[in-house]
Structure 1
Amino acid sequence: MPDSKIKRRGRRRLKSFSYTGTWAHSITLYTHQRQHLFKSRQIVHPVLHILQDTAERFGFRIWAYCFMPDHLHILVQGSAPRSHQPGFMHRFKQMSGYAHKRQHGRKLWQESYYEHILRTEETIAAVARYIFENPVRKGLVETPAEWPFSGFLEGIDPKVI
């Protein structure tokens, strides 16, 4: 189908929600054209460093992350009332995409991302476990601890799940 005929999806964020504060968010970002880019430390580590830096600057904790070949799962939580998730995600995608294109000559991310705001009955540990088990569900490894491109920055260790 020619690009001019592609229907653009509407806004994926909730109109009535501010996305500011200490909410926890499960977020999935896909690589451009679902390319299998996250297969080596040389690709994953620079993106992870930018994620860490951006989270720090925007006041977010990273409870869990998992780089799959064609997408990234992250579980983040605002650490201050001013933590603004869309600003954080925009900056992260911008900086990591720019660095990747400069280094490898190609686009990194698909437009937008999918996010889920955790409800009060959903625990950080349960959502982190789900994220860490993704490579197991896809048949890439037998245990979460075997996957080299997942981890935690705020106290949930995939090796003990």
Structure 2
Amino acid sequence: MPRFARAMAVGCAHHVPQHGNNRQDVFFVDDDRRVYLELLQEQAAKYGLEVWAYCLMSNHVHLVATPQAEESLAQAIGRTHFRYARYVNRLHRRSGHLWQGRFYSCAQNRRHLWLALKYVERNPVRAKLCRRAWQYAWSSAAAHTDPKVESGWLNLPRWYQEMSAAVWRKELTEGLTDSEVAQIRLRTHTGRALGSDSFVSKLETVPGRRLRPLPVGRPRKDPADAERLKGARK
């Protein structure tokens, strides 16, 4: 499969998953998760990354975040994962790579942002770790479905301007269709933006960035080129 340019757009929400090396665990005890969130909060504030949602599973993480500058996404997440790996290796007396290569990311337009948020916060339900997304302790779902839950770093006032707790509970209960899940996974793992043609075209204005697959097979020849070639051979 060809590697597409990672679609990074300032001011646009991105779905960012990253797995442990060889799909091995990256969190071993609850304190590990607390340290990870503290590091993420610190680096997100430092590099201008607004985190909308998160979910920490045993062997991978999911984030939905909006970069405020070109380097925000790579620096905030890269530094978080570098420092967390160093912490885990030292504490748990292990060595080697903790994370599996570079993280994936997928830019989302407004409509698909809400699908990505639902996908991230329903991860524990799909894994059968809980019946309701907001019951899982290590995701943002509880803060998004109960105004009484406080968070020192998620932008909850902005969230509740756009989505009520009751409506989001209903959305999380209904879940996603199989095709929506498949589309999110495909676009994220290829780095291709998820949105309308106009949204993708806007991101492709960056020189050298291709976010859509080329047609299968050889490029079609222009008839005019064929005539010019024929004339040159005479």
The alignment's TM-score, normalised by the length of structure 1, stands at 0.78
Read off the aligned partner of 1:69 and give its amino acid letter: S
Q: Please state whether the residue corresponding to 1:72 is helix, strand or coil.
A: strand
Question: 1:1-161 residue pairs with structure 2 within 5 A?
Answer: 14=5, 17=7, 19=8, 21-38=10-27, 40-78=29-67, 80-106=68-94, 107-123=97-113, 125-151=114-140, 153-155=154-156, 156=159, 160-161=168-169
1: CA distance, partners of 2:54 / 2:17: 10
RCO (CA 8 Å, sep 6+): is it higher in 1 or 2? Answer: 1
Change (3 A) 1:132 1:23: same
Output the amino acid matched with 1:75.
V
The two structures, once aligned, show a CA RMSD in angstroms of 2.6
Could you say which structure has the higher helix fraction?
2
For 1:3, the equivalent position in structure 2 comes to none
Which stretches of structure 1, 4 residues or more, deviate above 6 A after TM superposition?
none
Is the Cα contact below 8 Å between 1:20 and 1:83 reproduced in 2?
no
Cα distance in 2 for residues equivalent to 1:129 and 1:39: 25
1:36/1:74 Cα in 2 relative to 1: closer, same or farther (>3 Å)? same
1:74 Cα deviation (Å)?
0.5
Q: Is the 8 A contact 1:30 1:110 kept in 2?
A: yes
Q: Distance in 1 between matches of 2:111 and 2:133?
A: 24
Give aligned-pair identity as a percent.
23
Deviation at 1:47, TM superposition (A): 0.9
More strand by share: 1
The structural deviation recorded for 1:31 is 1.3
For residues 39 and 95 of structure 1, do their structure 2 counterparts lie closer, same or farther at Cα, with a shift above 3 Å needed? closer
Q: Which amino acid aligns with 1:154?
A: N
Unaligned runs of 5+ in 1: 1-8
Shift of 1:13: 6.0
How far off is 1:23 after superposition? 1.9
Mean Cα displacement is larger for which, 54-63 or 146-155? 146-155
Could you list the per-position Cα deviations for residues 44-103 of structure 1 after superposition, in whole angstroms to 9, with x for gaps in the alignment?
A: 11111111111111101111110111110011112x345532222222221111122122
Pairwise CA distance, 1:39: 5.2
Q: 1:13 to 1:74 in 2, by over 3 A?
A: farther
Determine helix, strand or coil for the equivalent of 1:56: helix
Q: Which has the larger radius of gyration?
A: 2
CA distance in 1, matches of 2:111, 2:63: 19
CA contact (8 A) 2:40 2:77 kept: no
CA displacement at 1:148 relative to structure 2:
1.2
Q: CA deviation at 1:144?
A: 0.6
Aligned residues: 148
